[in-house]
């Protein structure tokens, strides 16, 4: 424990006092609203702070986890041993000609609207995705036939040794809900987007239409992590779940949404254990009925209670 206290003392020399918290409930930092405490949570304001923090973690052999908006994350009830690095304060935005450079903490919806305001098209699909830029590029987030990979030019990253470098689109190895950032455990610091000029009113109408569709079809009134499962090849997860008779199925406070069966929601003060048990139940049922494996899209971290 003295060794960990030495780590915290060293960390205080890097991160401002107001941006460092001890024993923080992760339910306050995830859209699922569940999760036990993390030992230490930091919110860097500069790229150099992240680099130094990672180097410190390497020196003291402390595990660290990267958080954006916490919108695609399930933290177990036992919480996280080590450090959580939350990146939302890295939210600078530069817009010029047909290019946008966005810090990893910029919310996707905000980015989409700012592009619209400058008559730039290509980011309309992202208007309702609740994540931030860093997480979105790491997992190649997409919706309504659009994906981040279609508009990214390059990404400034930090590797697992704390070194910064810029990666071109060709090096990013984009795939369905994956990228080189996930594969190699990089941290996306800022993303350069290459967009097209468009008609501001048409862009705005497209955004309004997609937001209406999202509100009508998704259970936004309940905490969740968005789509719980990846799309299986040749299938749609929501249809497989609904055809398995699982729409509305609940375990504890968790439920398969009766509005959109691709979402597992925190219906009534669910625990992470409730959600995980329901995920497993859905996976087993779909496998039995259709012989299709459902892989989770939501990232699951932490320890059991």
Positive or negative, the CA dihedral 175, 279, 130, 106 is: negative
C-alpha distance from residue 11 to each of 56, 188, 201, 295 (Å)? 7, 21, 48, 36
Catalytic residue among 192, 227, 244, 261: 227
Catalytic residue among 71, 224, 297, 299: 297
**What does the alpha-carbon distance between residue 231 and residue 237 come to, in Å, rounded to a whole number?**
5
Contact 153, 98 (CB under 8 A): no
| pLDDT in 10s for each residue of the chain, 305 residues | 578 999 999 999 999 999 999 999 999 999 999 999 999 999 999 999 999 999 999 999 999 999 999 999 999 999 999 999 999 999 999 999 899 999 999 999 999 999 999 999 999 999 999 999 999 999 999 998 899 999 999 999 998 788 899 999 999 999 999 999 999 999 999 999 999 999 999 999 999 999 999 999 999 999 999 999 999 999 999 999 999 999 999 999 999 999 999 999 999 999 999 999 999 999 999 999 999 999 999 999 999 98
pLDDT digits (tens, 9 = 90+) for 210-224: 999 999 999 999 999
Contact 121, 115 (CB under 8 A): yes
pLDDT digits (tens, 9 = 90+) for 38-54: 999 999 999 999 999 99
Please report the pLDDT score of residue 95 as a whole number. Answer: 96
| Predicted model pTM | 0.92
CATH no. of 2-86? 3.30.43.10
CB-facing half-sphere around the CA of 159: CA atoms within 13 A: 8
CATH no. of 237-301? 3.90.78.10
Please report the pLDDT score of residue 164 as a whole number. Answer: 93
280 is catalytic: no
Please report the pLDDT score of residue 1 as a whole number. Answer: 56
224 is catalytic: no
Please report the pLDDT score of residue 140 as a whole number. Answer: 94
Residue from 148, 195, 194 nearest 172 by CA:
148
Strands 64-67 and 80-86: parallel
Say whether domain 93-217 belongs to CATH 3.30.465.10.
yes
Please report the pLDDT score of residue 3 as a whole number. Answer: 80
Question: Cβ atoms within 10 A of the Cβ of 103, count?
Answer: 22
pLDDT digits (tens, 9 = 90+) for 257-268: 999 999 999 999
297 is catalytic: yes
Please report the pLDDT score of residue 278 as a whole number. Answer: 98
Token pair, residue 32, equals: 């699922």
Catalytic residue among 177, 206, 231, 299: 177
What are the extents of the domains in the chain? 2-86, 93-217, 237-301
């Amino acid at each position: 424990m003295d060794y960990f206290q030495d780590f915290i003392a060293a960390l205080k020399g890097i991160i401002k006092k107001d941006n460092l918290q001890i024993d923080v409930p992760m339910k306050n930092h995830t859209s699922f609203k569940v999760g036990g405490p993390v030992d230490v949570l930091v919110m860097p304001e500069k790229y150099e702070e992240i680099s130094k923090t990672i180097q410190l973690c390497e020196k003291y052999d402390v595990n660290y986890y990267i958080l954006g908006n916490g919108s695609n994350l399930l933290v177990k009830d036992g919480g996280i041993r080590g450090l959580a690095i939350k990146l939302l304060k890295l939210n600078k935005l530069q817009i010029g000609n047909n290019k946008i450079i966005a810090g990893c903490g910029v919310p996707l919806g905000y980015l989409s609207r700012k592009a619209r305001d400058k008559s730039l098209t290509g980011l309309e699909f992202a208007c309702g995705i609740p994540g931030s830029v860093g997480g979105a590029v790491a997992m190649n987030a997409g919706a309504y036939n659009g994906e981040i990979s279609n508009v990214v030019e390059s990404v400034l990253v930090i590797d697992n040794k704390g070194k910064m470098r810029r990666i071109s689109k060709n090096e990013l190895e984009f795939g369905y809900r994956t990228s080189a950032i996930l594969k190699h455990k990089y941290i996306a610091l800022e993303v350069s987007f290459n967009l097209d000029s468009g008609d501001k009113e048409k862009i705005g109408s497209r955004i309004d239409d997609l937001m209406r569709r999202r509100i009508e079809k998704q259970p936004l009134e309940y905490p969740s992590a968005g789509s719980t499962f990846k799309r299986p090849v040749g299938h749609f997860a929501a249809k497989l779940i609904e055809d398995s008779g699982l729409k509305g199925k609940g375990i504890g406070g968790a439920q398969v949404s009766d509005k959109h069966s691709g979402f597992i929601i925190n219906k009534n003060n669910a625990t992470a254990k409730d959600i995980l048990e329901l995920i497993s139940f859905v996976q087993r049922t779909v496998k039995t009925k259709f012989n299709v494996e459902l892989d989770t899209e939501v990232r699951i971290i932490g320890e059991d209670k």
